[in-house]
Every structure is written in structure tokens, then in C-alpha cells.
Structure 1
Amino acid sequence: MDKLDLTKADKTYYGAVKTPQLIELGAISYLTCTGRGEPGGEVFSQAVEALYKVGYAIKAICKKEARDFTVAKLEGLWWFDSDLPAASFPRVEWNWKLLIRQPDFVTSGNVEQARSQVVSRLSSAGQVSYEALSEGSCVQMLHIGPYSEEPASIARIHAFMTEQELRQNGLHHEIYLSDSRRTDSSVLKTILRLPVTDVRQNHK
């Protein structure tokens, strides 16, 4: 039985390079868990655990149906209750929606079955949702290095957007290609992505 690995199968989604590039994305389904608090803190860690427990339960259900897959990388949408830079906010005030992408063949029934299995032993699994996001046009690039150095890469993305007459049209999106628990911070790989819209089209 072949196992689907979305990281290898979808080069547009996971194939960011070290310079900003414009891509187009359609509707994609995810497990999600929304919260507020410090990255790596207790609430954040509980959300990650819940997502992965449900994600692996879905994998087990699908494997029995001869549709095995590799559980996808953790992702996150980030936002703040102001337009001020992120550095202006204490980390405990950061808002996030954590994501784990799901294959197209996963159904809402699969998700509900998996969530019901997990919630009996992990109550936080009840906070896991299943939803589709459609980000459309996006600018993305691969950031290599510590999370603390992301602002320099984000500045490059914004410079590219200015050159191309694009403006942000959605939440800051990160895809964590590396496991920060097992990878030196100097070589962490993170895709940074911003949904955008063409300023010129909006002025027509």
C-alpha cells in the first residue's frame, strides 16, 4: 500500500526557496486549534498534543481503509490585537491558530470518529476543529535559522510585496519543516507565508 506524503506530493505548498515568491493556493483542509498565549507555553503545548493525537487517530482510521498517509507538518497562523509590530507585544498576548493539513480523502466523518476516540482520554481534543482555508495568492519564502531572526525574512517578503504592488490579505502563516526539539536553531527550516492581493486590481 502506497503512503501519501504531502510534503513530497505538493511541491508548490512545501517547496519554498530562500527568496520571496508568489504562489496560488486553492481550498485546503486542516485540523485546527485556536488559542492565545506564549509559543511553547502550556496552552500552546496542549493544543499541539491534541492536534497530533487526533491527526494520528485519523491516520489509523484511513490506514484501515487502505488510504495511509504521513501526518503532515505543524503549521500556525499568527495575529495580534493591534497593528503594532509583534515585538511590541508580550508573548503571552500572541493569538494563534495551529494547523495540521489533511489529505483530500479525509472526511468530516473520519475526523469526528477520531476526535471521539481521543477526547475520552485527552479532553483538549474536544477543541480540535476541521476546516478548509483558501488563502489564494500568497508570497512565501524559506527562513533558515532561529525563530527570533524571522523579522529579517519577513522584511524581505514585504519589500517584494512593495515591488510587486501587493498588500497583505490574510494572517501570517508559518509551516514548521523542522522539529525544534531535535534540530539546532541555526538550521531550523520554516516557511513564512502571507496571503496577498494585487493593489492595482483593487484600484480598477
Structure 2
Amino acid sequence: MITGQKLDLAKMDKAYYTASGKPKVVSFQELAYLSIEGQGSPDGPAFAESTEALYTVAYGVKFRCKEEGKDFTVAKLEGLWWVDSEAYGLDVPREEWRWRLLIRLPEYVDEGRVRDAKERAAAKKKGLARVHQVEWTRLREGLCVQILHAGPYSEEPKTLRILHDFMEAEGLLWNGPHHEVYLSDPRKITDPARMKTILRQPVRRREEG
């Protein structure tokens, strides 16, 4: 087996995985991800099954790359959130929430490696049908504003209000789905007060029309 240095995106790209308790304007180039899309409450079975499928493929890609001497740490879970109606966020029943779960990939991971990992995962976990829904994708959000939310997910609206007030003051408009980067793994941290989440919003300047 070929060995090499393990790549950790969280350490390599601290600008992407770091935020403060005050809103800040940032910018991101096009990046590669694993993704899976769905709808419903984050407490529901579809969300749980999709998360399991996403991680299953992510680790499959990791082990394939490790065999090639290009090992990496599986990145943090992320999520894009939106609703079909014009109502915002928590004003909409959780069953109507749409989401796209993401795990960022090193740039050397191509669609072929992901396809191979999906095939292997499907063969090993025949009961995990959502593996087939995992996709390799690229996403460019460009200009964004972000803030760090410390505490349970249920208290995010207060932090989001700070972010949206900042956007209004700076003349920034929404330019894509709400984005969350889960710095804390809810599977390992049982105290919600210790959770940390980056709340990120793609934006455009008002004068851009």
C-alpha cells in the first residue's frame, strides 16, 4: 500500500471552517462536494438515512484514496436549507423544509472515484437505498456573510437575526440557500449548549440588481 500525508481540509482551509460571533463578509471559490437532497424535518427518517448514506460514501471515497496514497480526513457535515414558499425558515412546518446535505471533498477527488465508492457501498449495504442518491457536485457561492452560532439549533433564529440585520445595513441581498457548517458532531456532543455552527448566507450587493 502506498502511504502519504493525510489531508485535513479543516486545517488547510481555516477561512472556510472558521467564523466569529460577529457577522463578516467572506468569499469562496468553486469547491467539490458529496451531496444528497431531500425534504422533511431534520428529526425525520429521511434526513437520518440521507446522512448515513452521505457518510458511507464519503468514507468509501476516503479509503479508495488512501489506497492511492492520498488519504484525507472526512470533512464536517454541511447543509443547504430552503423552502418552496416565500415564508421564511421556522414559519414553515418542518415537514416542508428542503435540504441538501454536503461533505466537502479534496479537489483531487473526481466523479469517477465517487461513482466507484457508491457501487461498493451499495454492494455492502443493500438496505441503504439512499446511497444511490449521493452525488459528486461542485458549488460556487462567491460572496457570503457568515456568523458563528454557539448553542442549540433551536436558538439559531436569534443569531440569524443578527446576520440579517447586518445584511440590511450593508445593502446585501440573498443570493442562494441558507448554508450551515456543523463544526460540532451532534452524534458525539450530547450537550446542545456546546454545539457550534457556522451560519452562512450567499449574498449580492443591492446595486447589482
For the criterion TM > 0.5, the same-fold answer is yes
Aligned partner of residue 167 in structure 1, secondary structure = strand
Map 1:24-173 → 2, pairs under 5 A? 24-120=27-123, 121=125, 122-173=128-179
Partner letter of residue 180 of structure 2? E
- Partner residue, 1:16: 19
What's the CA shift for 1:151? 0.6
Q: Distance in 2 between matches of 1:87 and 1:179?
A: 22
What's the CA shift for 1:182? 2.5
Partner letter of residue 24 of structure 1? S
Aligned partner of residue 190 in structure 1, secondary structure = strand
Q: Distance in 2 between matches of 1:70 and 1:55?
A: 10
What's the CA shift for 1:123? 2.3
Q: Distance in 1 between matches of 2:200 and 2:145?
A: 6
- Partner residue, 1:197: 204
What's the CA shift for 1:181? 2.8
**Structure 1 gaps, min length 5:** none
Aligned partner of residue 14 in structure 1, secondary structure = coil
Q: Distance in 2 between matches of 1:85 and 1:159?
A: 15
CA RMSD of aligned residues (A): 1.0
Mapped pair 1:186 → 2:193:
yes
Across the two proteins, how many residue pairs are aligned to each other?
202
Normalising by structure 2, what TM-score? 0.94
Partner letter of residue 157 of structure 1? L
What's the CA shift for 1:110? 0.6
Q: Which moved more, 1:118-127 or 1:6-15?
A: 118-127
